[in-house]
Each structure stands twice: as C-alpha cells, then as structure tokens.
Structure 1
C-alpha cells in the first residue's frame, strides 16, 4: 500500500507536454516518484514512454507543464545534470562493453585512481573488491567479477546496472523496459533487484508494457496511450485484471470483441 501522503516527491511531473514540430509526443502527463516506492509507466509502442524517459533523464526538455525535483521546479539541461541531481537511467540496450570484465563496467567512466603524477594509475584491487561487495549487498553473488560482462545473462547484466546506480548514489532509478527481452525466470530475477533498490530507499520508475510485471512490484501505475494519460492509479485502487484490461485497450477492446462476435 502506498505510504507517501504528505511527503515531497523526489520527482514530480505535472501536465508535462513535449512536441517535435507538429508531432505531439506527450500531452498533459503527470506522475510522482517517492522514496521507497516504484512508479510503473505502462503503454504500448508509440505511447510516449521513451519521450517521458528522456525528459526525466535530462536528454530532452519539456515544452509545457512543470518538472519538480525534491519540490523544486526545474528544467534539466543534460543527462549529467540529471545524474548530479540523483537521477540514474538504465536503458534497455545497457551501455556496457561486452569484452570488459564486470568490475571494469561497474566503474566505467568513474574509475578511482591511486598514486601521484606519472605513477597515477587505476586502483584495480579497489574496483574488484568494491564491485563484488556492492553486488553482494544487493543480493547478487557473482563468483568472478573478472569475467567479461558479455558472458552474463541479460538479467544479470540488468542487475549489475541497477547495483551500479545504487552504489553511485542515485536517489531515483529509471528503468527502461528491463524485462522486455527476458524469459520468465530472468524477468523474476530482475524484478527481485528492482524491489531491492526500492527497499534501499530509492524511488524507482519502471517503464514496461507488461502489466503482470508491473503489478508484482508497483506502488503507482501511470498508463499512457498515444502520448496522453490513459489512467493513473495507486496499487490499492486497482486490481491486476483491471490494470490488464486498461493496458489492453479497455473500452476499445470491448468494442472490438463485440464487432468480432459471430452473428
């Protein structure tokens, strides 16, 4: 049950819109992300989910409405600015170097160094130890952090990316379809670590087209259709069957079923 009444949202979008020329990508979309909660954004291809991610991640600026971070109205100018404000985004295609070891990918772009002057070098031992301990803290027990990350399953790579975001101080974690290309078992593993991030106090935005996955972990549900809000619910205000029905088209689906019935 959602327990966020009276608390300031980590991220809040109010009537946010985004247009690309004459194309309306988003119109009047609102959502809230609270610490220790998972907000699920559901919609089919072309619903506006990618545009929503880009606005929260600082890739694109919204045209209308307001974006607030910790209650402060703002416009993010870049992904680096979003990161500096505690918003980490894990995209579906995962920015990893397959042939590099797990620990190297864990610290990619943020490598700690030791030594002075010309003797300064990457602190490999520290990175190995930290990667193993941080993964273990999230419940991920990799036998060998020296193995190339490309040898891990898709679910394991997603989990490493989640643990990395937690380690580097993210307050808000945005996940772009993390279970889209995974089977049932691997999807369950990823959802377990999504819940672990929530339990560590992060606010999570889970982008998905799968209402069953969303309902397993979600506290709030925002449904998008052709760039507009098709519904907004808390977990205690909607059942899985109704969420699935709305996701599948709701009244439109009922009309189609009626049309297809044999006379």
Structure 2
C-alpha cells in the first residue's frame, strides 16, 4: 500500500486543516484539465488518482485512525516534506510550460526538480519529451531511459522514446518501444500509424500492411491513414496518387512487386 502521508507531502502528525490545505494545493497543480492535449495528461491523471486516494483516507478521521493503526505506524518515516512539495511544484510548472510549448522553461524546471530528487522518474520523462521537441533526440533518449530505470512505466515515455529513435533512424528500436507503449497502455490509433510507418521504413511490407489494416478497422478516419491512402509507396519513396494516373500508379505497383520478387 502507498504511504499516503508521502503522497500528500505532509507529516504523520499533520492536522486535518493542514491535510485539506495540502490537498487543495495538489489539486490546483495536477488537475488534468490544466494539461489537456499533451502527452503529460496521463501523468496528471495518475497523480490525481494517487492524491484522491490518499485524501480519501487521511481526510476522514475514522479512516485515518484505522490507517495509522496498521503496519504503517511501525515504519520509520523519513520526510523532507518541503523538498517533496518543491519537487511537485516544479513538476506541475514543467507540465504547464510544456503545454504552452515553452521547451526551454520546461527543461529548466525539470533540471531543478532533478537536483531535489534524482530518484524519481517524472522530471526525467518530462525533460526528455521537451528535449525531443527541440530536436535534441540523443539527450531525449538519455533522459527517457533514465526515467524508465527510475520506475517510469507510462506509455507516453515509451512512445516518446520510440519517436526519438525514429528521428535518429533507429527504426528497429522505434518499433520495440512503440510496442511497449501499446503493451502498457493501449493500441491507440496514432501508435498504430507510427508502428506501420516504422515497418515501412524497415521494408517490412507485410507487417506494415497488417498494421494499416488494423488501424483502418479501429479508426477509419485517422488523419495519418488518410494521408497514407493518398500515396503509393515505391521502394523508399512515396508518390502522391494525384500526381499520377491510374495506369501509372498500377505500373508503379507492378514495379514494386517485381523488386520484391527479385529479392526473394
């Protein structure tokens, strides 16, 4: 069971008033509506789930008494509640800066948070996606891998790691990590589209076709799928169907088939 006092960042002898005040502060920092339409929404939702669970117990005197009488009272508590609160504030500021596309500010907040506690994963993960947004993909990979070593298992971490590897031409690694993202999360349409493209980059046409078909079955109006359906893939190049006639497109397909057959 989680240590609810650590989750809220309060001491075991905190008053009910102090617990309520801290809860309101955390809600204002992590409410998912403040982090909509960015990869960190999932992190905010997870944080709010943990915070609500802790407050449900510690904010109710009867439940708190029962909790305190359990095994948790037998542990030695090691608190640096001020440092914990500062870390949480920096992470909240980083997520807000990221949603505003302030990559440099995001990195700055995360670096400060890491200086407070380098054993947690959130700051490394957020700094990683900000590094990626600045096209610093090698640094992004380093941060994201550290986030995973520190216990980060959120799908957005693996997905961003896949993207950075793809940008560096490491398509096999990109496939590995996007599959991991789908394993810990779900087979989201955008993940499927990314996976199909990586298969194409590696020349794995059967896997690519199967993945496009899966995407078509779950999200036929997916924008990436629509764009893909507007082109022919010939070797390593994409040819827009509007730029060629039906006959030319068919010939291009035949040429590709011949190339594949000759490789067998």
TM-score (norm 1): 0.31
Q: Name the larger-Rg structure.
A: 2
TM-score (norm 2): 0.31
Structure 1 or 2: larger helix share?
A: 2
Structure 1 or 2: larger strand share?
A: 1
Kindly indicate whether structure 1 or structure 2 has the higher relative contact order, using CA contacts under 8 Å at least 6 residues apart.
Answer: 1
